[in-house]
Structure 1
Amino acid sequence: MIDHPDLSRTKTEVVEASKKMHATGLVTAVWGNVTARVPGTDLIVATPSGVEYETMTEDMLVVIDLNTEERVGGTLKPTSELLLHLAIYRARADVFGVMHTHSLYASACAVVHKEIPPLVEDMAQVVGGSVSVAKYALPGGTELANNAVKALGNKNAVLLANHGMVGVGDTVAEALRVSQVVEKSAQIFAVAKQLGNPFLLSHEDVEWLRDAYKTSYGQK
Protein backbone atom coordinates (compact mmCIF):
# COMPACT_ATOMS: atom_id res chain seq x y z
CA MET A 1 0.00 0.00 0.00
CA ILE A 2 1.28 3.47 -0.89
CA ASP A 3 1.93 5.67 2.13
CA HIS A 4 2.61 9.34 1.44
CA PRO A 5 1.47 12.27 3.60
CA ASP A 6 0.02 14.19 0.64
CA LEU A 7 -1.77 11.29 -1.05
CA SER A 8 -4.97 11.53 0.98
CA ARG A 9 -5.18 15.29 0.51
CA THR A 10 -4.63 14.93 -3.23
CA LYS A 11 -7.44 12.38 -3.46
CA THR A 12 -9.77 14.73 -1.62
CA GLU A 13 -8.90 17.53 -4.03
CA VAL A 14 -9.53 15.33 -7.07
CA VAL A 15 -12.96 14.26 -5.84
CA GLU A 16 -13.93 17.85 -4.97
CA ALA A 17 -12.79 19.17 -8.36
CA SER A 18 -14.54 16.34 -10.19
CA LYS A 19 -17.85 16.99 -8.46
CA LYS A 20 -17.60 20.73 -9.14
CA MET A 21 -16.75 20.01 -12.78
CA HIS A 22 -19.94 18.00 -13.12
CA ALA A 23 -22.11 20.34 -11.05
CA THR A 24 -21.14 23.36 -13.14
CA GLY A 25 -21.97 21.65 -16.42
CA LEU A 26 -18.47 21.23 -17.78
CA VAL A 27 -19.24 17.55 -18.45
CA THR A 28 -22.33 15.41 -18.97
CA ALA A 29 -22.90 12.01 -17.34
CA VAL A 30 -19.60 10.11 -16.94
CA TRP A 31 -17.51 11.85 -19.61
CA GLY A 32 -14.47 14.01 -18.85
CA ASN A 33 -11.66 13.16 -16.43
CA VAL A 34 -9.49 14.65 -13.72
CA THR A 35 -6.00 13.92 -12.40
CA ALA A 36 -3.59 15.45 -9.91
CA ARG A 37 0.06 14.86 -9.16
CA VAL A 38 1.00 14.17 -5.55
CA PRO A 39 3.52 16.91 -4.63
CA GLY A 40 7.10 15.74 -4.42
CA THR A 41 6.36 12.40 -6.11
CA ASP A 42 5.74 10.77 -9.47
CA LEU A 43 2.33 9.53 -8.33
CA ILE A 44 -0.74 10.58 -10.31
CA VAL A 45 -4.22 10.33 -8.80
CA ALA A 46 -6.80 9.72 -11.54
CA THR A 47 -10.56 9.43 -11.77
CA PRO A 48 -11.83 5.97 -12.76
CA SER A 49 -13.40 5.19 -16.11
CA GLY A 50 -17.17 5.35 -16.45
CA VAL A 51 -18.07 6.20 -12.84
CA GLU A 52 -20.81 8.73 -12.09
CA TYR A 53 -19.37 11.85 -10.46
CA GLU A 54 -22.25 12.16 -7.97
CA THR A 55 -21.31 8.81 -6.43
CA MET A 56 -17.53 9.05 -6.77
CA THR A 57 -15.53 8.58 -3.57
CA GLU A 58 -11.84 8.72 -2.74
CA ASP A 59 -11.50 4.93 -2.56
CA MET A 60 -12.65 4.72 -6.19
CA LEU A 61 -9.69 6.77 -7.41
CA VAL A 62 -6.71 5.18 -9.09
CA VAL A 63 -3.04 5.91 -8.37
CA ILE A 64 -0.63 5.65 -11.30
CA ASP A 65 3.18 5.67 -11.37
CA LEU A 66 4.11 8.35 -13.90
CA ASN A 67 7.31 6.54 -14.89
CA THR A 68 5.96 3.03 -15.42
CA GLU A 69 2.30 3.90 -16.18
CA GLU A 70 1.35 1.06 -13.83
CA ARG A 71 -1.52 1.19 -11.38
CA VAL A 72 -0.05 1.24 -7.88
CA GLY A 73 -3.20 2.08 -5.95
CA GLY A 74 -6.92 1.46 -6.31
CA THR A 75 -8.81 -1.39 -7.92
CA LEU A 76 -10.82 0.30 -10.67
CA LYS A 77 -9.73 0.96 -14.24
CA PRO A 78 -8.42 4.52 -14.70
CA THR A 79 -9.77 7.08 -17.15
CA SER A 80 -9.44 6.11 -20.80
CA GLU A 81 -7.57 9.38 -21.39
CA LEU A 82 -4.77 8.50 -18.97
CA LEU A 83 -2.06 8.77 -21.63
CA LEU A 84 -3.14 12.36 -22.34
CA HIS A 85 -2.76 13.31 -18.69
CA LEU A 86 0.58 11.54 -18.26
CA ALA A 87 2.01 13.20 -21.38
CA ILE A 88 1.15 16.64 -20.00
CA TYR A 89 2.78 15.93 -16.63
CA ARG A 90 5.93 14.72 -18.38
CA ALA A 91 6.09 17.80 -20.57
CA ARG A 92 5.22 20.34 -17.88
CA ALA A 93 6.95 20.17 -14.50
CA ASP A 94 4.83 23.13 -13.35
CA VAL A 95 1.54 21.23 -13.78
CA PHE A 96 0.02 19.40 -10.81
CA GLY A 97 -3.60 19.23 -11.96
CA VAL A 98 -5.23 18.33 -15.29
CA MET A 99 -8.94 18.50 -16.16
CA HIS A 100 -10.48 17.30 -19.41
CA THR A 101 -13.99 18.60 -20.11
CA HIS A 102 -16.63 18.45 -22.83
CA SER A 103 -18.20 21.85 -22.10
CA LEU A 104 -20.61 23.18 -24.71
CA TYR A 105 -19.04 26.34 -26.11
CA ALA A 106 -15.43 25.23 -25.84
CA SER A 107 -16.36 21.99 -27.59
CA ALA A 108 -18.15 24.00 -30.30
CA CYS A 109 -14.91 25.86 -30.96
CA ALA A 110 -13.09 22.52 -31.05
CA VAL A 111 -15.57 21.17 -33.59
CA VAL A 112 -14.98 24.07 -36.01
CA HIS A 113 -11.22 23.95 -35.26
CA LYS A 114 -11.24 27.59 -34.16
CA GLU A 115 -8.96 28.75 -31.37
CA ILE A 116 -10.35 30.97 -28.61
CA PRO A 117 -8.44 34.26 -28.79
CA PRO A 118 -7.40 36.36 -25.77
CA LEU A 119 -10.39 38.71 -25.75
CA VAL A 120 -11.12 38.92 -22.00
CA GLU A 121 -8.76 39.61 -19.14
CA ASP A 122 -9.54 36.64 -16.91
CA MET A 123 -8.75 34.22 -19.73
CA ALA A 124 -5.47 36.00 -20.37
CA GLN A 125 -4.69 35.70 -16.66
CA VAL A 126 -5.36 32.00 -16.22
CA VAL A 127 -4.46 30.69 -19.70
CA GLY A 128 -1.65 33.00 -20.75
CA GLY A 129 -2.89 33.60 -24.30
CA SER A 130 -5.18 32.04 -26.87
CA VAL A 131 -6.52 28.50 -26.50
CA SER A 132 -5.13 26.66 -29.52
CA VAL A 133 -6.68 23.63 -31.23
CA ALA A 134 -4.73 20.37 -31.20
CA LYS A 135 -4.79 18.33 -34.39
CA TYR A 136 -7.46 15.62 -34.35
CA ALA A 137 -6.65 12.10 -33.23
CA LEU A 138 -8.81 9.29 -31.91
CA PRO A 139 -9.31 9.32 -28.13
CA GLY A 140 -7.19 7.40 -25.66
CA GLY A 141 -3.99 7.08 -27.67
CA THR A 142 -0.49 8.48 -27.82
CA GLU A 143 -1.23 10.50 -30.97
CA LEU A 144 -3.92 12.52 -29.18
CA ALA A 145 -1.61 12.97 -26.19
CA ASN A 146 1.29 14.18 -28.33
CA ASN A 147 -0.92 16.53 -30.35
CA ALA A 148 -2.35 18.03 -27.17
CA VAL A 149 1.06 18.60 -25.58
CA LYS A 150 2.32 20.29 -28.75
CA ALA A 151 -0.66 22.65 -29.02
CA LEU A 152 -0.71 23.35 -25.27
CA GLY A 153 2.86 24.61 -25.18
CA ASN A 154 3.47 26.66 -22.04
CA LYS A 155 -0.15 27.83 -21.73
CA ASN A 156 -2.81 26.41 -19.45
CA ALA A 157 -5.53 25.26 -21.84
CA VAL A 158 -5.90 23.52 -25.18
CA LEU A 159 -8.82 22.47 -27.37
CA LEU A 160 -8.96 18.91 -28.65
CA ALA A 161 -10.33 18.96 -32.20
CA ASN A 162 -13.85 17.45 -32.43
CA HIS A 163 -13.60 16.42 -28.80
CA GLY A 164 -13.39 18.97 -25.97
CA MET A 165 -10.83 20.93 -23.98
CA VAL A 166 -8.11 20.43 -21.38
CA GLY A 167 -7.26 22.82 -18.58
CA VAL A 168 -4.12 22.54 -16.46
CA GLY A 169 -2.76 24.29 -13.40
CA ASP A 170 -0.37 24.18 -10.48
CA THR A 171 -3.21 22.57 -8.51
CA VAL A 172 -6.27 20.62 -9.57
CA ALA A 173 -8.39 23.50 -8.23
CA GLU A 174 -6.58 25.82 -10.64
CA ALA A 175 -7.21 23.39 -13.51
CA LEU A 176 -10.92 23.64 -12.64
CA ARG A 177 -10.73 27.43 -12.62
CA VAL A 178 -9.02 27.41 -16.01
CA SER A 179 -11.71 25.11 -17.43
CA GLN A 180 -14.49 27.33 -16.11
CA VAL A 181 -12.93 30.54 -17.46
CA VAL A 182 -12.23 28.99 -20.87
CA GLU A 183 -15.86 27.88 -21.20
CA LYS A 184 -17.09 31.36 -20.27
CA SER A 185 -14.61 32.91 -22.72
CA ALA A 186 -15.81 30.60 -25.49
CA GLN A 187 -19.38 31.76 -24.83
CA ILE A 188 -18.31 35.41 -24.97
CA PHE A 189 -16.41 34.75 -28.19
CA ALA A 190 -19.44 33.12 -29.83
CA VAL A 191 -21.77 35.99 -28.85
CA ALA A 192 -19.23 38.68 -29.73
CA LYS A 193 -18.78 37.23 -33.22
CA GLN A 194 -22.52 37.63 -33.77
CA LEU A 195 -22.40 41.27 -32.66
CA GLY A 196 -19.34 42.23 -34.66
CA ASN A 197 -15.58 41.79 -34.85
CA PRO A 198 -14.09 41.25 -31.36
CA PHE A 199 -11.15 43.42 -30.36
CA LEU A 200 -8.38 41.27 -28.89
CA LEU A 201 -5.96 42.01 -26.10
CA SER A 202 -2.44 42.75 -27.28
CA HIS A 203 0.41 40.32 -26.72
CA GLU A 204 1.97 42.80 -24.28
CA ASP A 205 -1.25 43.13 -22.30
CA VAL A 206 -1.67 39.36 -22.14
CA GLU A 207 1.85 38.97 -20.79
CA TRP A 208 1.27 41.70 -18.18
CA LEU A 209 -2.04 40.19 -17.07
CA ARG A 210 -0.58 36.68 -16.84
CA ASP A 211 2.44 37.84 -14.84
CA ALA A 212 0.29 39.89 -12.47
CA TYR A 213 -2.01 36.92 -11.91
CA LYS A 214 0.91 34.64 -11.07
CA THR A 215 2.73 37.09 -8.83
CA SER A 216 0.23 39.37 -7.09
CA TYR A 217 -3.39 38.33 -7.71
CA GLY A 218 -5.43 37.15 -4.72
CA GLN A 219 -3.90 36.66 -1.28
CA LYS A 220 -0.29 36.50 -2.42
Structure 2
Amino acid sequence: MTEPKLVEHGTGVQDGHSEETLRLDVSMSTRLLNSMKILEYSGHVSARLPGRETFLVQPQNKSRAEVGPPDLLICDLDGKVVVGPSGVRPPSEVFLHCEIYRHRSDVNAIAHFHHDVTNVFTLVEDVPLRAFKNHAIRWKSGIPVHPDPAHVDDAERGRAIVKTLGDHHAMQIRAHGQIVTAETVRGVFIDSVHLVENAEAAYRACALGKPKPLTEAEIESFSHSFRRGHHIRKLWNYYTLGAIREGVFPETWAAEA
Protein backbone atom coordinates (compact mmCIF):
# COMPACT_ATOMS: atom_id res chain seq x y z
CA MET A 1 0.00 0.00 0.00
CA THR A 2 1.33 3.47 -0.89
CA GLU A 3 2.27 5.63 2.08
CA PRO A 4 0.45 9.00 2.35
CA LYS A 5 2.41 11.93 0.94
CA LEU A 6 3.43 14.34 3.70
CA VAL A 7 4.61 17.94 3.59
CA GLU A 8 7.77 18.79 5.53
CA HIS A 9 7.46 20.57 8.86
CA GLY A 10 9.50 21.73 11.83
CA THR A 11 8.94 21.41 15.56
CA GLY A 12 6.65 23.30 17.89
CA VAL A 13 6.50 23.76 21.65
CA GLN A 14 3.66 24.72 24.00
CA ASP A 15 4.54 25.18 27.67
CA GLY A 16 7.64 23.05 27.27
CA HIS A 17 5.80 20.33 25.36
CA SER A 18 7.02 19.02 22.03
CA GLU A 19 4.80 18.64 18.99
CA GLU A 20 4.65 14.93 19.80
CA THR A 21 3.30 15.65 23.28
CA LEU A 22 0.75 18.11 21.92
CA ARG A 23 -0.45 15.47 19.47
CA LEU A 24 -0.98 13.11 22.41
CA ASP A 25 -2.78 15.76 24.47
CA VAL A 26 -5.13 16.67 21.62
CA SER A 27 -5.85 13.01 20.88
CA MET A 28 -6.49 12.15 24.53
CA SER A 29 -8.67 15.23 25.06
CA THR A 30 -10.69 14.40 21.95
CA ARG A 31 -11.31 10.81 23.01
CA LEU A 32 -12.06 11.85 26.59
CA LEU A 33 -14.63 14.47 25.54
CA ASN A 34 -16.17 11.95 23.19
CA SER A 35 -16.41 9.28 25.91
CA MET A 36 -18.08 11.85 28.19
CA LYS A 37 -20.72 12.62 25.52
CA ILE A 38 -19.50 16.19 25.15
CA LEU A 39 -17.83 16.01 21.73
CA GLU A 40 -19.51 12.93 20.24
CA TYR A 41 -19.73 12.66 16.42
CA SER A 42 -18.97 16.33 15.73
CA GLY A 43 -16.58 18.90 17.14
CA HIS A 44 -12.83 19.29 17.45
CA VAL A 45 -9.93 20.18 19.73
CA SER A 46 -6.93 22.10 18.41
CA ALA A 47 -3.52 23.18 19.71
CA ARG A 48 -1.36 26.08 18.59
CA LEU A 49 2.21 25.23 17.66
CA PRO A 50 4.12 28.11 19.30
CA GLY A 51 6.70 29.92 17.25
CA ARG A 52 4.76 29.10 14.09
CA GLU A 53 1.47 30.37 12.72
CA THR A 54 0.09 26.84 12.61
CA PHE A 55 -1.99 24.52 14.73
CA LEU A 56 -2.91 20.85 15.16
CA VAL A 57 -6.45 19.70 14.44
CA GLN A 58 -8.11 16.42 13.51
CA PRO A 59 -9.23 15.52 9.97
CA GLN A 60 -12.84 16.14 9.04
CA ASN A 61 -13.87 12.51 8.63
CA LYS A 62 -11.91 10.84 11.43
CA SER A 63 -14.06 9.43 14.26
CA ARG A 64 -13.62 11.32 17.52
CA ALA A 65 -13.55 7.93 19.24
CA GLU A 66 -10.57 6.75 17.21
CA VAL A 67 -8.42 9.81 16.51
CA GLY A 68 -4.73 9.31 17.35
CA PRO A 69 -1.55 11.41 17.28
CA PRO A 70 -0.53 10.48 13.70
CA ASP A 71 -3.97 11.45 12.38
CA LEU A 72 -3.71 15.12 13.32
CA LEU A 73 -3.21 17.68 10.58
CA ILE A 74 -1.16 20.85 10.80
CA CYS A 75 -3.03 23.83 9.35
CA ASP A 76 -1.99 27.43 8.82
CA LEU A 77 -4.09 30.43 9.84
CA ASP A 78 -5.81 30.46 6.46
CA GLY A 79 -7.15 26.95 7.04
CA LYS A 80 -4.77 25.31 4.59
CA VAL A 81 -3.32 21.89 5.46
CA VAL A 82 0.47 22.21 5.49
CA VAL A 83 1.20 18.80 7.02
CA GLY A 84 -0.98 15.77 6.45
CA PRO A 85 -1.91 13.08 3.95
CA SER A 86 -2.70 14.33 0.46
CA GLY A 87 -6.41 14.99 -0.02
CA VAL A 88 -7.35 14.85 3.66
CA ARG A 89 -9.40 17.85 4.73
CA PRO A 90 -9.62 19.69 8.07
CA PRO A 91 -12.98 20.22 9.81
CA SER A 92 -15.38 22.46 7.89
CA GLU A 93 -15.30 24.91 10.81
CA VAL A 94 -11.51 25.15 10.83
CA PHE A 95 -11.86 28.92 10.39
CA LEU A 96 -13.03 29.48 13.95
CA HIS A 97 -9.67 28.05 15.07
CA CYS A 98 -7.76 30.09 12.48
CA GLU A 99 -9.25 33.44 13.43
CA ILE A 100 -9.15 32.95 17.19
CA TYR A 101 -5.46 32.02 17.02
CA ARG A 102 -4.83 34.94 14.70
CA HIS A 103 -6.42 37.48 17.07
CA ARG A 104 -5.88 36.01 20.55
CA SER A 105 -2.21 35.51 21.38
CA ASP A 106 -3.16 34.25 24.86
CA VAL A 107 -5.03 31.26 23.41
CA ASN A 108 -3.05 28.07 22.75
CA ALA A 109 -5.90 25.56 22.63
CA ILE A 110 -9.51 25.59 21.43
CA ALA A 111 -12.39 23.15 21.79
CA HIS A 112 -15.58 23.39 19.73
CA PHE A 113 -18.48 21.07 20.47
CA HIS A 114 -22.29 20.90 20.32
CA HIS A 115 -23.62 20.05 23.78
CA ASP A 116 -27.42 20.17 23.76
CA VAL A 117 -28.11 21.03 27.42
CA THR A 118 -25.54 23.83 27.34
CA ASN A 119 -27.00 25.17 24.11
CA VAL A 120 -30.52 25.28 25.57
CA PHE A 121 -29.56 28.59 27.21
CA THR A 122 -29.31 30.18 23.76
CA LEU A 123 -32.88 29.13 22.93
CA VAL A 124 -34.75 30.97 25.71
CA GLU A 125 -35.05 34.61 26.71
CA ASP A 126 -33.90 36.12 29.99
CA VAL A 127 -32.04 33.01 31.25
CA PRO A 128 -28.40 33.48 30.21
CA LEU A 129 -25.77 30.92 31.09
CA ARG A 130 -23.81 32.37 33.99
CA ALA A 131 -21.52 31.06 36.72
CA PHE A 132 -23.50 28.71 38.97
CA LYS A 133 -20.73 26.38 40.20
CA ASN A 134 -17.41 27.35 41.79
CA HIS A 135 -15.29 26.16 38.87
CA ALA A 136 -17.30 28.39 36.55
CA ILE A 137 -15.39 31.39 37.89
CA ARG A 138 -13.29 30.88 34.75
CA TRP A 139 -16.16 32.71 33.01
CA LYS A 140 -16.75 35.46 35.53
CA SER A 141 -16.46 37.96 32.66
CA GLY A 142 -19.40 36.26 30.95
CA ILE A 143 -20.27 33.71 28.29
CA PRO A 144 -21.39 35.67 25.22
CA VAL A 145 -23.78 34.26 22.64
CA HIS A 146 -23.07 34.63 18.94
CA PRO A 147 -26.35 35.41 17.15
CA ASP A 148 -25.60 33.66 13.85
CA PRO A 149 -26.17 29.88 14.12
CA ALA A 150 -24.50 29.14 10.77
CA HIS A 151 -21.46 26.89 10.47
CA VAL A 152 -18.22 28.83 10.73
CA ASP A 153 -17.07 27.71 7.31
CA ASP A 154 -15.18 30.76 6.06
CA ALA A 155 -12.80 33.43 7.36
CA GLU A 156 -15.48 36.13 7.51
CA ARG A 157 -17.61 34.05 9.86
CA GLY A 158 -14.47 33.22 11.83
CA ARG A 159 -13.79 36.93 12.33
CA ALA A 160 -17.38 37.44 13.48
CA ILE A 161 -16.84 34.70 16.08
CA VAL A 162 -13.72 36.50 17.31
CA LYS A 163 -15.69 39.72 17.69
CA THR A 164 -18.33 37.99 19.83
CA LEU A 165 -15.74 36.13 21.90
CA GLY A 166 -13.83 39.30 22.71
CA ASP A 167 -11.57 38.76 25.73
CA HIS A 168 -13.73 35.96 27.17
CA HIS A 169 -12.67 32.33 27.56
CA ALA A 170 -15.88 30.69 26.31
CA MET A 171 -18.86 31.49 24.15
CA GLN A 172 -21.96 29.94 22.69
CA ILE A 173 -23.22 29.98 19.12
CA ARG A 174 -26.99 30.26 19.15
CA ALA A 175 -28.75 26.98 18.34
CA HIS A 176 -25.37 25.52 17.38
CA GLY A 177 -22.68 24.88 19.98
CA GLN A 178 -19.86 26.05 22.23
CA ILE A 179 -16.30 27.34 21.91
CA VAL A 180 -13.86 27.12 24.81
CA THR A 181 -10.37 28.64 24.78
CA ALA A 182 -7.42 28.13 27.13
CA GLU A 183 -3.69 28.46 27.55
CA THR A 184 -3.04 24.71 27.17
CA VAL A 185 -4.75 21.65 25.71
CA ARG A 186 -5.23 20.13 29.14
CA GLY A 187 -6.68 23.41 30.33
CA VAL A 188 -9.19 23.53 27.48
CA PHE A 189 -10.25 19.95 28.23
CA ILE A 190 -10.88 20.70 31.92
CA ASP A 191 -12.66 23.96 31.06
CA SER A 192 -14.91 22.14 28.57
CA VAL A 193 -15.90 19.66 31.28
CA HIS A 194 -16.65 22.46 33.73
CA LEU A 195 -18.63 24.47 31.18
CA VAL A 196 -20.94 21.50 30.64
CA GLU A 197 -21.16 20.73 34.38
CA ASN A 198 -22.12 24.35 35.04
CA ALA A 199 -24.80 24.32 32.33
CA GLU A 200 -26.29 21.05 33.55
CA ALA A 201 -26.45 22.38 37.12
CA ALA A 202 -28.12 25.56 35.87
CA TYR A 203 -30.60 23.54 33.81
CA ARG A 204 -31.60 21.49 36.84
CA ALA A 205 -31.90 24.65 38.96
CA CYS A 206 -34.26 26.15 36.39
CA ALA A 207 -36.51 23.10 36.75
CA LEU A 208 -36.89 23.85 40.47
CA GLY A 209 -37.35 27.59 40.32
CA LYS A 210 -35.60 30.85 39.51
CA PRO A 211 -31.88 30.13 39.03
CA LYS A 212 -29.48 31.84 41.43
CA PRO A 213 -26.01 32.35 39.91
CA LEU A 214 -22.94 33.10 41.96
CA THR A 215 -22.64 36.69 43.16
CA GLU A 216 -19.59 38.83 42.43
CA ALA A 217 -18.53 38.47 46.07
CA GLU A 218 -18.84 34.67 45.92
CA ILE A 219 -16.85 34.55 42.68
CA GLU A 220 -14.18 36.72 44.25
CA SER A 221 -13.94 34.45 47.29
CA PHE A 222 -13.49 31.39 45.07
CA SER A 223 -10.87 33.20 42.99
CA HIS A 224 -8.62 33.82 45.98
CA SER A 225 -8.20 30.12 46.77
CA PHE A 226 -8.19 28.73 43.24
CA ARG A 227 -4.87 27.39 41.90
CA ARG A 228 -5.46 26.74 38.21
CA GLY A 229 -2.26 24.82 37.48
CA HIS A 230 -2.80 22.42 40.40
CA HIS A 231 -6.47 21.99 39.50
CA ILE A 232 -5.72 21.12 35.87
CA ARG A 233 -3.05 18.57 36.85
CA LYS A 234 -5.34 16.95 39.43
CA LEU A 235 -8.31 16.56 37.10
CA TRP A 236 -6.21 15.57 34.09
CA ASN A 237 -4.75 12.69 36.11
CA TYR A 238 -8.20 11.70 37.36
CA TYR A 239 -9.81 11.60 33.93
CA THR A 240 -6.90 10.03 32.04
CA LEU A 241 -6.43 7.22 34.58
CA GLY A 242 -10.14 6.46 34.41
CA ALA A 243 -10.01 6.49 30.61
CA ILE A 244 -7.13 4.00 30.59
CA ARG A 245 -9.13 1.62 32.80
CA GLU A 246 -12.09 1.92 30.42
CA GLY A 247 -9.96 1.42 27.29
CA VAL A 248 -10.59 4.90 25.86
CA PHE A 249 -6.92 5.12 24.88
CA PRO A 250 -3.76 3.10 25.62
CA GLU A 251 -1.78 3.56 28.81
CA THR A 252 1.34 4.32 26.76
CA TRP A 253 -0.24 7.59 25.60
CA ALA A 254 -0.46 8.92 29.15
CA ALA A 255 3.06 7.71 29.92
CA GLU A 256 4.48 9.53 26.89
CA ALA A 257 2.50 12.76 27.28
Instruction: Answer yes or no: same fold by TM over 0.5.
Output: yes
**Residue 121 of structure 1 pairs with residue 134 of structure 2:** yes
Check the 8 A contact 2:30/2:65 in 1, yes or no: no
Check the 8 A contact 1:118/1:129 in 2, yes or no: no
Aligned to 2:145: 133
Q: Which has the larger radius of gyration?
A: 2
Aligned to 1:3: 10
Which residue among 161, 165, 176 is the counterpart of 1:148? Answer: 161
Over residues 87-140 of structure 1, what are the superposed CA-to-partner deviations in whole Å (9 max), with x where a residue is unaligned? 11122111111000111211222344753112221111x333332211114202
Check the 8 A contact 1:15/1:58 in 2, yes or no: yes
Aligned to 2:239: none
**Residue 77 of structure 1 pairs with residue 84 of structure 2:** no
Aligned to 2:50: 39
**Residue 93 of structure 1 pairs with residue 89 of structure 2:** no
Question: Counterparts of 2:170 and 2:123 in 1: how far apart (Å)?
Answer: 16
Aligned to 1:110: 122
- Bigger mean CA offset, 7-16 vs 157-166: 7-16
**Tell me, what secondary structure is at the counterpart of 2:74?**
strand
Aligned to 1:63: 74
Aligned to 2:249: none
Over residues 50-108 of structure 1, what are the superposed CA-to-partner deviations in whole Å (9 max), with x where a residue is unaligned? 21122222222110123x54321012211111110111112211111100011121122
Q: CA deviation at 1:156?
A: 1.3
Aligned to 2:202: 189
Question: Counterparts of 1:89 and 1:199 in 2: how far apart (Å)?
Answer: 34
The count of corresponding residues between Structure 1 and Structure 2 is 217
Over residues 20-49 of structure 1, what are the superposed CA-to-partner deviations in whole Å (9 max), with x where a residue is unaligned? 1101100232x1111100233322001110
Question: Counterparts of 2:28 and 2:45 in 1: how far apart (Å)?
Answer: 10
Q: Sort the Cα spacing of 1:197 and 1:216 in 2 relative to 1 into closer, same or farther, 3 A.
A: same
Q: Sort the Cα spacing of 1:21 and 1:73 in 2 relative to 1 into closer, same or farther, 3 A.
A: same
Q: What amino acid sits opposite 1:180 in the alignment?
A: V
Q: Sort the Cα spacing of 1:92 and 1:214 in 2 relative to 1 into closer, same or farther, 3 A.
A: farther
Q: Sort the Cα spacing of 1:149 and 1:52 in 2 relative to 1 into closer, same or farther, 3 A.
A: same
**Tell me, what secondary structure is at the counterpart of 2:75?**
strand
CA RMSD of aligned residues (A): 2.4
Q: Sort the Cα spacing of 1:53 and 1:142 in 2 relative to 1 into closer, same or farther, 3 A.
A: same
Check the 8 A contact 1:159/1:165 in 2, yes or no: yes
Q: CA deviation at 1:214?
A: 5.8
Aligned to 1:12: 24
**Tell me, what secondary structure is at the counterpart of 1:54?**
coil
**Tell me, what secondary structure is at the counterpart of 1:138?**
coil
Unaligned runs of 5+ in 1: none
Unaligned runs of 5+ in 2: 1-7, 13-17, 234-257
Question: Counterparts of 2:207 and 2:76 in 1: how far apart (Å)?
Answer: 47
Question: Counterparts of 2:173 and 2:79 in 1: how far apart (Å)?
Answer: 23
Aligned to 1:174: 187
In the superposition, the TM-score normalised over structure 2's length comes to 0.76
Question: Counterparts of 2:34 and 2:45 in 1: how far apart (Å)?
Answer: 11
- Bigger mean CA offset, 34-43 vs 182-191: 34-43
**Same amino acid, percent of matched pairs:** 21
Question: Counterparts of 1:70 and 1:53 in 2: how far apart (Å)?
Answer: 21
